[in-house]
A and B are shown apart, each in its own frame.
Chain A
Amino acid sequence: MVEKEKKGKIPRQPMPEQNPKARARNFDEVPLGYSEEVAMLEATRCLQCKNPTCMAGCPVDIDIPAFIARIKEGEFASAIAKIKEKNVLPAVCGRVCPQEMQCEKTCVLAKKGEPVAIGRLERFSADWERAQGKVSTPKKEPSTGKRVAVVGSGPSGLTVAGDLILKGHDVTVFEAFQVPGGVLVYGIPEFRLPKAIVAAEVDYMKKLGVKFECDKVVGATVSVDELFEEGFDAVYIGVGAGLPIFMHIPGENLIGVYSANEYLTRSNLMKAYLFPEFDTPIIRGKDVVVFGAGNVAMDAARTAVRLGADRVRIIYRRSREEMPARIEEIHHAEQEDVEFILLAAPLNFIGDENGRLTGVRCQRMELGEPDESGRRRPVPVEGSEFEVACDTAVIAIGAGPNPLLTSATRDIRLSKRGYIIVDPETGKTIKKGVWAGGDIVTGQATVILAMGAGRKVANSIHKYLTLGW
């Protein structure tokens, strides 16, 4: 599969993938990963810039030219060690980072349209190490005797835990669900991020000494103040943005209308795609519509395809240019025959006498003046109503902050929309000994930004535990 040099120039190496027809019937991972040979070839494309602009695009400052140089030499163990100096979840980031907006966007070769495939090389390194069966653990500092509670086991919480355990602190992660991983396990589907990979990363944390307490809802099972009473010296809140947003239009409570959170949680976390082997059911719609055009919407649409839908349509109120999903995901969805109805918004859902969804009435939109986000605002076109028949609808238009913990925790400050307000330099809340980061501070963002926030907080907590608030 190596694309050979033509006229002395090596093209960006494509990612081998499962064929669209086959993969639309299974939940196995779609991209198959580089072979050693292809990885080494791709690595030779890196110019080893003196001033590597790619690094400016990585929120956790991975030394990109250094790890790529090692792949080029075939020194894979040392490549992954280099990455792990800065990133505790390389197998995850190599798969789900929006590289075209980050490291690969700022790579010098991007100007010619063919940046080095940094993400794929990162993924390759992490997968190579896991396949070897021996994952190296870095040296731990001697124990400080200080105890840190991390609330939420998403990428930000895992980063805080991973960093602080290495600095010698005693770390316990509290997770509301039965397994750790946050969105990585309940949201992002198996075909994009195999759960075995998340489990391996969590196992690695356990090996480092991090303790996990699942089924613990902080704010319900135990409060933040009680964590201090139990002897924790610092608390990190990384509970994500897990509140589903509905559209508040008539018919939204019909059977068959799902929030993306419910649809994806049933399928991923509860393994409804394996029903009845697993007990949790999910409606296997024949005609599915998905509202929204971010990564979440693509994940829902592609899940519906795999659950056996005849037709899956994404309905989005803006145009293709404004779609927030990663380009690769939009592309994958199209390959799997997901259709797009652009510049349209729903008015109301329609149901039968049993309260089951049968369709949705929509309205055409056109783009007007730019709004505060800089994107052109969709404006309804009078008299353009039309109906789309469907038996399942998934609402994937965003998420908000879940108030369960924040409303039970007095003396932290919240924004008007309910996100936690922190000092941007340190992640400190106004409550002594309490930090917050990730989606519960920024709103739904990306894995790597949540990890970046976790890194900053870990440094601040370490300083506090060794020097004081």
Chain B
Amino acid sequence: MFQIVYREEMAEGTVVLNEVMAPGIAAKAKPGQFVMIRANEEGERIPLTMAETNQEKGTITIIYQIVGKSTALFKTLKEGDSYLDIIGPLGRPTRIEKTGRVTCVGGGTGVAVIYPITKGYKEAGNEVTAIIGARTKDLLILEDKMRAASDNLRVCTDDGSYGHHGFVTDVLKEILEGEGTDLVVAIGPVAMMKFTCELTKQYKVKTVVSLNPIMVDGTGMCGCCRVTVGGRTRFACVDGPEFDGHEVDFNELTHRLQAYVNDERVSYKSFLKGSKC
């Protein structure tokens, strides 16, 4: 069983952090990898990135945004409670190399996903600028950790309540026009990744994105997670989740993420009804 040893709420309770005992996975996980996770017998297997791992303690840390039934159910788990299944580490690790100047762009919960990658690039000797954004100040996560993990942190909020007033792409554009960068890593909502890639394409700067299609097994046996990259069908769980953003068909991904919207609504609603006491 995978026990929660530490729990924290962030972004006004819309995001939850769990540090979970999973020594076998912690021993092997590398930045960019994810786990498939399930809370109970009736539960869905959902993919979550490991934001941090601690080999000595044998723990992994997941940070998830509450968007539907499964994540809402996870939120009800307390310290001392356990997940039923955690499978990993899955996916290809980020290929961290010494490239020079690297810009890591994280939006929303994507900040949790980009955090270990940012740390990895810095440890590999790159000069790392991080840009993180959220709708409003109170929804911003991991600011301190991201500051420590990078050489230079830029913060944006859509409503201007904190940091730069505007989108992460505005700040990225400044950098692209100014000092420049050798590589961009962008992780967040699909729309954010799409706009980031449209921007960096103009400046011919290589851009890596981490895709979040719906998954079932996470080991390459179902094809549910297929995405089109460079005109070819790839399985995000084994060929990714990271891909060259300039090659990704983001419109297809946006569509495919909508596959079960109606069912998800049914599921979430009945959960909210049941859990209200």
The distance in angstroms between the C-alpha atoms of A214 and B1, with both chains bound, is 11
- Chain B stretch 220-277: residues in CB contact (< 8 A) with chain A: 220-224, 226-228, 233, 238, 251-252, 255-256, 258-260, 263-264, 266-267, 270
Contact yes or no, A252 B89, CB < 8 A:
no
Question: Does residue B87 face the partner (Cβ distance < 8 Å to A)?
Answer: yes
Residues of B within 8 A of A283 (CB): 259-260
Nearest CB on B from A457, distance (A): 23
The distance in angstroms between the C-alpha atoms of A177 and B221, with both chains bound, is 11
Question: Does residue B204 face the partner (Cβ distance < 8 Å to A)?
Answer: no
The distance in angstroms between the C-alpha atoms of A253 and B253, with both chains bound, is 9
Contact yes or no, A176 B256, CB < 8 A:
no
The distance in angstroms between the C-alpha atoms of A404 and B87, with both chains bound, is 14
A255-B256, A276-B267 given as contacts; is B221 within 8 A of A220 (CB)? Answer: no
Residues of B within 8 A of A402 (CB): 219-221
Chain B residue with the shortest CB-CB distance to A222: B24
Chain B residue with the shortest CB-CB distance to A240: B221
Chain A residue with the shortest CB-CB distance to B84: A178
Contact yes or no, A177 B217, CB < 8 A:
yes
Q: Which of B37-45, B97-105, B126-134, B163-171 contacts A (4 or more CB under 8 A)?
A: B37-45
Contact yes or no, A266 B216, CB < 8 A:
yes
- Chain B stretch 47-106: residues in CB contact (< 8 A) with chain A: 69-70, 84-90
User: Which of B28, B38, B222, B227 counts the most chain A CB atoms within 10 A?
Assistant: B222
Residues of A within 8 A of B4 (CB): none
Contact yes or no, A255 B267, CB < 8 A:
no
Contact yes or no, B222 A355, CB < 8 A:
no
A178-B38, A253-B252, A281-B263 given as contacts; is B44 within 8 A of A221 (CB)? Answer: no
Contact yes or no, A221 B267, CB < 8 A:
no
Contact yes or no, A279 B70, CB < 8 A:
yes
Contact yes or no, A244 B223, CB < 8 A:
yes
Chain A residue with the shortest CB-CB distance to B238: A404
Residues of B within 8 A of A217 (CB): 87-88, 90, 219
Chain A residue with the shortest CB-CB distance to B43: A279
Q: Which of A64-72, A86-94, A257-265, A298-306 contacts B (4 or more CB under 8 A)?
A: A257-265
If over half of B's interface residues share one DSSP class (helix, strand or loop), that class is named, otherwise mixed; here it is mixed
Contact yes or no, A275 B267, CB < 8 A:
yes
Question: Does residue A410 face the partner (Cβ distance < 8 Å to B)?
Answer: no
Contact yes or no, A248 B233, CB < 8 A:
yes
Residues of A within 8 A of B24 (CB): 216, 221-222
Contact yes or no, A280 B259, CB < 8 A:
no
Contact yes or no, B222 A404, CB < 8 A:
no
Question: Does residue A325 face the partner (Cβ distance < 8 Å to B)?
Answer: no
Please encode chain A, from 40 to 79, with 1 for each CB lying within 8 Å of some chain B CB and 0 for all others: 0000000000000000000000000000000000000000
- Chain A stretch 215-269: residues in CB contact (< 8 A) with chain B: 215-217, 220-222, 242-244, 246, 248, 252-253, 255, 259, 261-262, 265-266
Contact yes or no, A253 B219, CB < 8 A:
no
Nearest CB on B from A25, distance (A): 20
The distance in angstroms between the C-alpha atoms of A356 and B216, with both chains bound, is 19
Contact yes or no, B42 A278, CB < 8 A:
yes
Residues of B within 8 A of A221 (CB): 24-25, 28, 87-89
The distance in angstroms between the C-alpha atoms of A281 and B85, with both chains bound, is 19
Residues of A within 8 A of B87 (CB): 176, 178, 215, 217, 221
User: Which of B42, B69, B223 counts the most chain A CB atoms within 10 A?
Assistant: B223
Residues of A within 8 A of B264 (CB): 281
Question: Does residue A308 face the partner (Cβ distance < 8 Å to B)?
Answer: no
- Chain A stretch 150-186: residues in CB contact (< 8 A) with chain B: 176-178
Question: Does residue A277 face the partner (Cβ distance < 8 Å to B)?
Answer: yes
Residues of A within 8 A of B259 (CB): 255, 283
A220-B89, A221-B89 given as contacts; is B233 within 8 A of A252 (CB)? Answer: yes
Question: Does residue A397 face the partner (Cβ distance < 8 Å to B)?
Answer: no
User: Which of B44, B89, B227 counts the most chain A CB atoms within 10 A?
Assistant: B44
Contact yes or no, A220 B90, CB < 8 A:
yes
Contact yes or no, B219 A404, CB < 8 A:
yes
The distance in angstroms between the C-alpha atoms of A246 and B233, with both chains bound, is 10
Nearest CB on A from B213, distance (A): 10
A253-B233, A279-B42, A281-B260 given as contacts; is B219 within 8 A of A220 (CB)? Answer: yes
- Chain B stretch 183-226: residues in CB contact (< 8 A) with chain A: 216-217, 219-224, 226
The distance in angstroms between the C-alpha atoms of A283 and B38, with both chains bound, is 21
Question: Does residue A270 face the partner (Cβ distance < 8 Å to B)?
Answer: yes
A178-B38, A270-B45, A281-B260 given as contacts; is B223 within 8 A of A259 (CB)? Answer: yes
Nearest CB on A from B83, distance (A): 10
Please encode chain A, from 196 to 216, with 1 for each CB lying within 8 Å of some chain B CB and 0 for all others: 000000000000000000111
Residues of A within 8 A of B220 (CB): 242-243, 402-404
Residues of A within 8 A of B70 (CB): 279
Residues of B within 8 A of A270 (CB): 44-45, 216
Contact yes or no, B238 A215, CB < 8 A:
no
The distance in angstroms between the C-alpha atoms of A261 and B222, with both chains bound, is 5
The distance in angstroms between the C-alpha atoms of A354 and B260, with both chains bound, is 12
The distance in angstroms between the C-alpha atoms of A281 and B256, with both chains bound, is 14
Residues of B within 8 A of A262 (CB): 216, 222-224
- B69 contact from A216, A243, A279, A356, Cβ within 8 A: A279
Residues of B within 8 A of A279 (CB): 42-44, 69-70, 267
Contact yes or no, A244 B255, CB < 8 A:
no
Residues of A within 8 A of B267 (CB): 275-276, 279, 281
A217-B87, A221-B25, A279-B69 given as contacts; is B223 within 8 A of A355 (CB)? Answer: no
- A280 contact from B44, B84, B89, Cβ within 8 A: B44
Nearest CB on A from B11, distance (A): 24
Residues of B within 8 A of A266 (CB): 216
Contact yes or no, A276 B216, CB < 8 A:
no
Contact yes or no, A276 B270, CB < 8 A:
yes
A217-B90, A222-B24, A270-B216 given as contacts; is B222 within 8 A of A244 (CB)? Answer: yes
User: Which of A244, A276, A279 counts the most chain B CB atoms within 10 A?
Assistant: A279
Residues of A within 8 A of B86 (CB): 215
The distance in angstroms between the C-alpha atoms of A265 and B216, with both chains bound, is 8
Nearest CB on A from B21, distance (A): 14
Residues of B within 8 A of A403 (CB): 220, 238
Chain B residue with the shortest CB-CB distance to A281: B263
Contact yes or no, B226 A261, CB < 8 A:
no
Nearest CB on B from A399, distance (A): 9
- A354 contact from B44, B89, B238, B258, Cβ within 8 A: B258
> Which 6 A-B residue pairings sit nearest by Cβ, starting from the closest?
A355-B255, A281-B263, A262-B222, A279-B44, A242-B221, A259-B223
Known: A214-B85, A217-B219, A221-B88. 14 other contacts (CB 8 A): A176-B87, A178-B38, A215-B86, A217-B87, A221-B25, A248-B233, A262-B216, A265-B221, A271-B42, A276-B266, A276-B270, A279-B43, A402-B221, A404-B238
